[in-house]
Chain A
Amino acid sequence: MNATWSRFNITSIVLGFAFLYLPIVLLVVFSFNESKLVTVWGGFSTKWYVSLFHNQGLMDATWVTARVAVISATVATVLGTLAALALTRYTRFKGRMLFSGMVFAPLVMPEVITGLSLLLLFVAVGLDRGFLTVTLAHITLTMCFVAVVVQSRLITFDRSLEEAAMDLGAPPVKTFFQITLPVIMPAIVSGWMLAFTLSLDDLVIASFTSGPGATTLPMKIYSQVRLGVTPEINAACTILIAVVAVGVIIASLANKRREVQRQRDEQAAQRG
C-alpha cells in the first residue's frame, strides 16, 4: 500500500463518519449520564439501565416486538421463499410479469400507504387490532424482501443439481428438502434476518395496525419521547444498537472465515 493519507482524504473520512455516527455516539454517551436532563452531562452512571429493567411498560413492549419479529419473519420467510421459487421456476405462466411486479411493489410502496390500507382491510373484515394484526402487517411488509433475496440466489442455482438427485432416484419432494433447500439455505437465513430487522424497527405500519396491549418497542419509545426524552430511552436504544451491532459483527466474521477457509481449500485442491 503506497497510497498516502492526503489531507483531503482524512477530511472526507472524518466528515463522513461524523455524519453517520455522531448522533449515535451522543445517544450512547448520554445513556450513561447521571443527570436526568438529557443534554447536560452530570457524571457517569448506569442507573438508567437499572431503571430500564424495572420499567414494566418498556419491558412489555420489548417482549411484544420480539414475538412479532420472530413470528412475522418466520412466516414471511416461508411465503417469500415459495414466491421466489414460483417466480424463478415457472417462467412461462401467463401474467408472470404482473405477478412478479406485484410481489415486489411493497418494496417501494410508501409505508404510510401500506399501513393505511392494511388498517382499512382489518376494519373491513372486523379483525380486532392487536398482536395478530401487527404480525400480519409485518408479514406483508417483509415477505417481498425475503422473496428478492431468495430469488437472486435461485437465479444462479444450478438446476442440474436437482436433476442429478432425481436421476439418482430421489422424487421431487425429497430432492427439494435434501438438495435445493440446503443449498439455498444461506439466502433463506439472510432473508429471515432481514425480515426480522425490518419488523423490529418498524414504527409506521405498527402504529396503523396495532391495538391495545400490543405496543411495540419503537411505538413505545416514540410515544415516550413525545412526553420528553428520558435517559432511560437512551439506555434502551443503546441496548438495541448493541444487539444489532453484535449480530452484524458475528454474521460478517462468520462469513469472512468461511470465505477464507474456502479459498484455502481451493488452493490446496489445485496443488494436490
Chain B
Amino acid sequence: MKSLGSIRRDFAPWNDPNAKPYIQFDKVIKKFGDFTAVNNLSLTIFEREFFALLGASGCGKSTLLRMLAGFEEPTAGRILLDGQDLRGIPPYRRPVNMMFQSYALFPHMTVENNIAFGLKQDGMPKPEIAARVGEMLKLVKLEQFAKRKPHQLSGGQRQRVALARSVAKRPKVLLLDEPLGALDKKLREETQFELMDLQQSLGLTFVVVTHDQEEAMTMADRIAIIDKGEVMQVATPAEVYEAPGSRFVAGFVGNVNMFEGKIAHGEAGAASIDAGNGITIRAENAGDAATGAAVAFAIRPEKIRISSTRPAGAVNAIEGEVYDIAYLGDMTVYHVRLDDGHVVRASTMNAARITEDPLSWNDRAWVSFRPDAGVVLTR
C-alpha cells in the first residue's frame, strides 16, 4: 500500500490530458446590479484535488464558492459538477457541503445534533446516524463534547464541529470558506495539517477560499489566484511562487523585488535587461520576449546574496547602501537602497546560531544573484 505522502506526490491530473474534469466553471459571469463580481471565468478542478481560490477580499472568490453551493446563480455561463450542469438545482439538492467562515453552528442544538442534522435530512435510519456521528466526533477528537452546545466550546472546537458537520454527509465536494480565519496563528498552523490529512483519508475534493497565501501554499495541490473576478494564474504552489505568470501574481504571493526595464537584446531564452540608471540584468528563462519589450525582472529576496564586497565572478551584482535590517530569528531581512534609489530586499537564513554580522546600517553592500534566480515577466 502506498503511503499518503507518495499518493500526494504522484497526484497531478492537471498534467494528464485524458483526466476527466470534476468541477468546471465555464465562462461564468456573475453580476450584482452594476457590479461584476465574476467576469467570464473558466476553471477546472479535478477529483480528489485540494484546490485553493486565493485573492484579496472582494475579488469574487467567495462568490465562486457560493455559486458552487447554490446560494447564487451565475448571470451567464455554466457550472458543471461531475458532468452535470448545476443550474437551477437548489442548495439542498446539491451533493456539495460547505464549511462556513462563521461556522454557522446551530446554537440551539448540541454538537451531536449539529453533526446529525444533514444526515436526518436524508432520512438515514437512526442507528446509522448515531454510528456516523460517533465516527465524525472521533475524527475531530471531540467525543467527550457530544452533548455540549456550541457556546460551550472554544473557537478551535467550534471549527472542528463545523468541519465534522460538513463532511458527515460524505459530499462529493467540500467547500471551505476561510476555514481557519477565526483561529489564532498557532492553532491555524496545526489545523492546516489536520485538514490535509482529513482530505487525504476521506478522499474528498476540497475547494477552499482564502486570502492567506501561506494557508493556500501549505494545503493546496493547486492554487487559483483571483483578481477582480478573473483568474490570474492556476498552478501548483511551487509554480505560483517560482514561476509567476504576471507582475500581479509575483507581487501577490510572497515578497518580491521587481526591476522594470526593457530587453536590450535577447538570444535563445536569455536576455539582457536594461533596468535604467546603468543597471543591466542578465536573465535566463526570458521566454520569447522580444528585444525592446517592456518587462519586469522579478526575484525573491531569499535568492539574493548580500555581501560587503563584490563577489568574484558574479554576473549580476549591484552596489547600494544598507538602510534597514530586520532580524526575524530564523532569518534576517536586509533592505538595500541602490544608488538609483531603488530598494532591494534580500533575506539570509540564520543557519548558525551565532554569527558575526559583517553588515550594519549605512554600510556599503553588494546584492548579487544568478541569471536563473528570477523570472522575466511581460504581463
A residues at B contact (CB < 8 Å) = 158, 160-161, 163-171, 174, 179, 182-183, 262, 265-266, 268-270, 272
- Can you list 21 A-B contacts with CB-CB less than 8 angstroms, sorted by A residue number? A160-B101, A160-B102, A161-B106, A163-B98, A164-B100, A164-B104, A164-B165, A166-B90, A167-B96, A167-B97, A167-B166, A168-B92, A168-B118, A168-B166, A169-B121, A170-B117, A171-B92, A179-B106, A265-B151, A266-B151, A269-B153
Q: Which residues of B contact A161 (CB under 8 A)?
A: 104, 106-107
Interface presence of B251 (CB below 8 A): no
User: If the complex has contacts A262-B151, A269-B151, are A169 and B169 also in contact, measured as CB distance less than 8 A?
Assistant: yes
Determine if A174 and B108 form an interchain contact, defined as CB atoms under 8 angstroms apart: no
Determine if A168 and B108 form an interchain contact, defined as CB atoms under 8 angstroms apart: no
With A164-B100, A167-B98 known, 7 other A-B pairs at CB within 8 A are A160-B104, A161-B104, A161-B106, A164-B98, A167-B69, A167-B92, A169-B92
Partner of B154, one of A158, A167, A272: A272
Determine if A169 and B118 form an interchain contact, defined as CB atoms under 8 angstroms apart: yes
- Which residues of chain B in 161-178 are interfacial with respect to chain A, using CB atoms and an 8 Å cutoff? 165-166, 169
Interface presence of B91 (CB below 8 A): yes
B residues at A contact (CB < 8 Å) = 69-71, 90-93, 96-98, 100-102, 104, 106-108, 117-118, 121-122, 149, 151-154, 157, 165-166, 169
Select from chain B the residue with minimum beta-carbon distance to A164. B104
Closest-CB distance, A105 to chain B (whole angstroms):
31
Determine if A269 and B152 form an interchain contact, defined as CB atoms under 8 angstroms apart: yes
Closest-CB distance, B89 to chain A (whole angstroms):
12
Most buried by A among B154, B157, B169: B154
Q: Which residues of A contact B166 (CB under 8 A)?
A: 167-168
Closest-CB distance, A257 to chain B (whole angstroms):
15
Determine if A268 and B152 form an interchain contact, defined as CB atoms under 8 angstroms apart: yes
A189 CA to B165 CA in the complex, in Å? 30
Determine if B117 and A165 form an interchain contact, defined as CB atoms under 8 angstroms apart: yes
Determine if B92 and A158 form an interchain contact, defined as CB atoms under 8 angstroms apart: no
Closest-CB distance, B359 to chain A (whole angstroms):
45
Closest-CB distance, B195 to chain A (whole angstroms):
19
Q: Which residues of A contact B96 (CB under 8 A)?
A: 167
Select from chain A the residue with minimum beta-carbon distance to B107. A183
Determine if A163 and B118 form an interchain contact, defined as CB atoms under 8 angstroms apart: no
Closest-CB distance, B184 to chain A (whole angstroms):
12
Select from chain B the residue with minimum beta-carbon distance to A169. B121
Q: Give the 5 A-B CB pairs with smallest separation, nearest first.
A: A168-B118, A169-B121, A164-B104, A160-B104, A265-B152
A108 CA to B207 CA in the complex, in Å? 52
Closest-CB distance, A260 to chain B (whole angstroms):
13
A171 CA to B104 CA in the complex, in Å? 17
Determine if A266 and B108 form an interchain contact, defined as CB atoms under 8 angstroms apart: no
Q: Which residues of A contact B102 (CB under 8 A)?
A: 158, 160
Determine if A183 and B118 form an interchain contact, defined as CB atoms under 8 angstroms apart: no
A166 CA to B100 CA in the complex, in Å? 12
Determine if A166 and B154 form an interchain contact, defined as CB atoms under 8 angstroms apart: no
Determine if A270 and B154 form an interchain contact, defined as CB atoms under 8 angstroms apart: yes
Q: Which residues of A contact B153 (CB under 8 A)?
A: 269
Partner of B91, one of A166, A262, A265, A266: A166
A171 CA to B94 CA in the complex, in Å? 12
Most buried by B among A166, A167, A262: A167
Q: Which residues of B contact A171 (CB under 8 A)?
A: 90, 92
Determine if B169 and A168 form an interchain contact, defined as CB atoms under 8 angstroms apart: yes
Q: Which residues of B contact A182 (CB under 8 A)?
A: 108
Q: Which residues of A contact B91 (CB under 8 A)?
A: 163, 166-167
